[in-house]
Structure 1
Amino acid sequence: MTVARSLLLFALAALAEIGGAWLVWQGVREHRGIAWIGAGVVALGLYGFVATLQPDAHFGRILAAYGGVFVAGSLLWGMALDGYRPDRYDVIGALVCLAGVAVIMYAPRT
């Protein structure tokens, strides 16, 4: 259950951080206004909180692994909301990052 919980928390963290960054981007770059920026800032704060709920106690490990989730999640977000189509190198890079997440977070340790 710990791996499932960890994966769920990574997904929630990705939603909060990528969504927050996207909202700020929309507010500033697409001129949607301060409400979009404020919502983004709140979402980014929620990301920081969600990351603390990971079962592993090591900050560096959690943030390093989350980096891989962020890479893959950002490409998915771009596809879903901005019409971005990743090329094969984007996909390969994201898969490499997710493999790194698996090694960092879920490799057996003694």
Structure 2
Amino acid sequence: MTIVRSLLLFVLAALAEIGGAWLIWQGWRENRGLWWIAAGVAALGAYGFVATLQPDANFGRILAAYGGVFVAGSLAWAMVVDKFRPDRWDLIGAAICLVGVAVIMYAPRADH
């Protein structure tokens, strides 16, 4: 259950961070206005709190592992929202990142 909770929190964090950045991009680069930018800033703020809900107490470990989720999530977001078509190297890179997430977060560790 702890791993499932952790994975769900990573997905929520990715949606908040990537979505927030996308909203700011839309507001500024696509001239959609300040409300889009404000929504993006709020989403990025929410992302900052989601990490605190992770069951692991080590900020550095969580943030390092989340980096891999961010890479894969960014490609997934681009595919769904922007109709981006990743090539095999994009997909291989994202898979490597997700393996890294699993090793960093879920490898068995001896108690300290």
Counterpart of 2:21? 21
Counterpart of 1:47? 47
| Percent identical | 78
> Structure 2 matches for 1:1-110, cutoff 5 A?
1-110=1-110
| 1:98 CA drift (Å) | 0.1
Q: Which amino acid aligns with 2:25?
A: W
Deviation >2 Å, runs of 4+ = none
Provide the rounded CA distance (Å) in 2 between the counterparts of 1:99 and 1:108: 14
Provide the rounded CA distance (Å) in 2 between the counterparts of 1:61 and 1:38: 30
Aligned length: 110
| 1:83 CA drift (Å) | 1.1
Q: Where in structure 2 are there 5+ consecutive unaligned residues?
A: none
Provide the rounded CA distance (Å) in 2 between the counterparts of 1:87 and 1:27: 28
TM-align CA RMSD? 0.4
SS at match of 1:31: coil
Provide the rounded CA distance (Å) in 2 between the counterparts of 1:31 and 1:87: 30
